[in-house]
Amino acid sequence: MLPQLFMKTIQALFGLCALAIAATGADSLPPHPRLLCDAAGIAQLKQRVQQEPWAAQWKAFRKGFDKTMDTPLELPPRGGNWAHWYVCPTHGARLSQGKQLGPWQWEHICPVDKEVLHGDPTKPDRDFDGVAINRPHGNYAAAIRNAGLLYQVTGEARYAQRARAILLAYAGRYLSYPLHTTRGQAKIGGGRIGPQTLDESTWLIPVAQGADLIWDTLPEADRRTLADKLFLPAAREVILAHKMGVHNIQCWKNSAVGLTGFLLGDTALINAAIDDPIRGYRTQMAKGVQPDGVWYEGAWGYHFYTLGALWPLTEAARNCRINLYGEPLKKMFEAPVKLAMPNLVLPAFNDSGEVNIRSSMFELAYARYRDPVYLVALADSKRRDELALWFGVPQLPATQAAALPSRNAQASGYAILQRGAGEQATWLCLKYGPHGGGHGHPDKNSFVLYSRGKVVCPDPGTRPYGSPLHGQWDKVTLAHSTLVVDGANQAEATGQCLAFGSDRGCDFVMTDAGPIAKGVRFVRTAVLLNENLIVFVDQLSADKPHTFDLATHCNGQWLQPPPGGVFMLPAQNGYQHLKNATLCRTNAAFAQTFSLAPDWRGTLTLAGGVPTEIITATGVGKSTADRIPMTIFRRTAAQTTFVWALALDGTAPTLQAVLPQIPRLDPTISIRVTSAAGAWQLAVNSTKPAVRVTPLAAAPRGK
């Protein structure tokens, strides 16, 4: 009893302090609204809705909202469940919501075999209805913000009244929603609306923005109710109580806490969101954004997710005369444009799927920075989304994407070799940089290859974290086109670029994977000879013999069954998910052709001269039922060098490699490459890092 009384006393004191701080802080802030838009922003919005393309969008938006105005408010009976649990336990694929079966109950359908699953609220990983409940919570949050915008533009009190009704409904229910984590535990780190402080924050941000837009219409009693029963409990007791460091989630938490502070005039919350030395906005930007502008987690989905978390706070601060639009944020907008594939899509590195950079966030970026580099991402935009409506400049200057040369982002560890024009160009990205924290994958020196508008060699990216395949495939080394040592995953490591450049019109990169396994060094050199031919030189050295598996994944399908007998693989570290594995042993050259399209073939070629086990199989695609061809070159040695190539023109090049007899005296590897398009002599030296390319007269095939 005594501890409970003590806690209630502390909470009461915090409440009194909060009211005192709010009263003091409110005097130094501009009038409401001041979060999503200030008075000037509202005036600009009123002008936008009178002109195309936004006039039609606004009309449709208002009409759609008006249809919901008379719908009775029915808040969900509980908070939602973790969205990453929404997967088929058999196939690991994301479920889809089917018809409603009863109050807050639905069918949940597997996309692979169409099995209908039912939720079990007693088991977090099977509480599919709880995941579905997230949607109405999110819809109500958006409705508060949208009603506030409609009120500000039209001046019609009915919109403010609708927002007020939803707000007060949540104020009456919020504290009765149990605190719960993704595992169903009632402890700090969980939320009341959602199962994480992340979910609480993403929900609270639009709620605060909407409340701010109608704040001046609310009587003081309503304001105190909303502060005491909704905003302060959510911001202080749920979100702020959960301590994190530099992380995308903390950026969402900062925005939720900061917006609550700006809404209520609470300077303590504002300072916690912006200036906390461990987790505040300024620390996130100083430590989370790498010098080349890439968010440190190395997953493009989280890069944009973090941008989505940052802008609500930067805009609210701007409206309150605090400038957070610094150079790190500017570079965060620039990096995706500079590092995207030729089709303006970013690869599925680390815990991310592919990401199209054609994002409306560049509407805000251009409005604030006016940097023409952002126009590439807006070139084909119809400008009919929210950020364009809220922040877009009246006219975007015409722009045309320039052909980008090969480039190397050393801080984030992405070396890009590119040849060709437009979306048909060939683009290879070699990944060697920082691990990426909890969202990183053990895949140093892996690569993604794109050509002719298609990803040829993919990265597995990620699927929902509740899927067994996330840990068993996405986050294992074997699932990436890189080196596996002794059948184990690579250690978390940061590699380095040893050489990057161009010689005789052929671009190259040489990278060291870093400490991926004890006593092992892996140096990969890639040379883009032309848009149809890439040569790899993979040099492996160790203090003792190891089994080296060099994995390569290619989209499409094998053109003919690979040679070799049936082969059994280990039941761990991703090998258990390979199917139709065959094995052949050879010291001769090897070539395997795969089909990328009915009229497009590729070839994977290995130089001969060293005994090699060649394992061919299929790996996991979108689900366990979707298969992707893969090849493993296997050798057991202390030192070895794989010389191999990927050809995209349907022919197999000839590779003749001369390895140094005494590496310490002359470490240069000499490779003669002959293809239908020409011939080259390559010289690769990883001791004094250098790559030399000498074009030769094309030799007749077979001579």
Q: Cα separations (Å) of 399 from 154, 171, 369, 374? A: 35, 48, 16, 10
CA distance 381 to 388: 10
Asked if the structure places residue 72 within a domain, the reply is yes
CA distance 162 to 143: 9
Q: Note down the domain range covering 78.
A: 32-242
pLDDT value of residue 15:
43
Asked if the structure places residue 334 within a domain, the reply is no
pLDDT value of residue 290:
97
Answer whether 552's CB lies under 8 Å from 604's CB: yes
3-state secondary structure 614-674: EEEEEEECCCCCCEEEEEEEEEEEEEEEEEEEEECCCCCCEEEEECCCCCCCCCCEEEEEE
User: What does the mean pLDDT of the chain come to?
Assistant: 93
pLDDT value of residue 2:
34
pLDDT in tens, 106-139: 999 999 999 999 999 999 999 999 999 999 999 9
Neighbours of 39 (CB within 10 A): 14
Which DSSP helix (H) or strand (E) runs through 161?
helix 157-173
Which DSSP helix (H) or strand (E) runs through 57?
helix 54-66
Question: What residues pair up with 496 in beta bridges, in sequence order?
Answer: 512
Instruction: Compute the average pLDDT of residues 432-446.
Output: 97
pLDDT value of residue 662:
66
**What CATH number corresponds to the domain at position 197?**
1.50.10.100
Q: Is the pLDDT of residue 633 over 70?
A: yes
pLDDT in tens, 459-513: 999 999 999 999 999 999 999 999 999 999 999 999 999 999 999 999 999 999 9
CA distance 647 to 532: 6
Higher pLDDT, 84 or 402: 84
pLDDT in tens, 166-179: 999 999 999 999 99
Q: Cα separations (Å) of 570 from 82, 487, 567, 574? A: 32, 8, 10, 9
Asked if the structure places residue 82 within a domain, the reply is yes
Number of domains the chain contains: 2
Asked if the structure places residue 523 within a domain, the reply is yes
Last residue of a domain, one of 197, 219, 242: 242
Asked if the structure places residue 336 within a domain, the reply is no
pLDDT value of residue 452:
96
Q: Is the pLDDT of residue 458 over 50?
A: yes
Give the residue among 57, 74, 75 at the shortest CA–CA distance from 65: 57
Would you call 645 exposed, middle or buried from its count of C-beta atoms within 10 A (0-12, 13-18, 19+)? buried
User: What percent of the chain is predicted at pLDDT more than 70?
Assistant: 95
Q: Is the pLDDT of residue 399 over 90?
A: no
**What CATH number corresponds to the domain at position 502?**
2.70.98.70
pTM for the complete prediction? 0.91
Asked if the structure places residue 502 within a domain, the reply is yes
Kindly indicate the confidence band of residue 664, based on its pLDDT and cuts at 50, 70 and 90. low
Neighbours of 193 (CB within 10 A): 27
pLDDT in tens, 53-79: 999 999 999 999 999 999 999 999 999
Q: Is the pLDDT of residue 218 over 80?
A: yes
Last residue of a domain, one of 223, 242, 261: 242
Answer whether 615's CB lies under 8 Å from 632's CB: yes
Instruction: Compute the average pLDDT of residues 320-340.
Output: 97
Answer whether 487's CB lies under 8 Å from 573's CB: yes
Last residue of a domain, one of 213, 242, 271: 242
Q: How far apart are the two ends of the chain, measured CA to CA in Å?
A: 92
pLDDT value of residue 665:
65
pLDDT value of residue 567:
80
Asked if the structure places residue 566 within a domain, the reply is yes
Kindly indicate the confidence band of residue 181, based on its pLDDT and cuts at 50, 70 and 90. very high
Higher pLDDT, 194 or 6: 194
Q: Is the pLDDT of residue 533 over 50?
A: yes
Q: Give the distance between the most distant pair of CA atoms in the chain.
A: 92
DSSP state of 235: I
Kindly indicate the confidence band of residue 402, based on its pLDDT and cuts at 50, 70 and 90. confident
pLDDT value of residue 584:
93
Would you call 460 exposed, middle or buried from its count of C-beta atoms within 10 A (0-12, 13-18, 19+)? buried
Which DSSP helix (H) or strand (E) runs through 701?
none
Instruction: Compute the average pLDDT of residues 394-410.
Output: 89
Asked if the structure places residue 191 within a domain, the reply is yes
Answer whether 199's CB lies under 8 Å from 130's CB: no
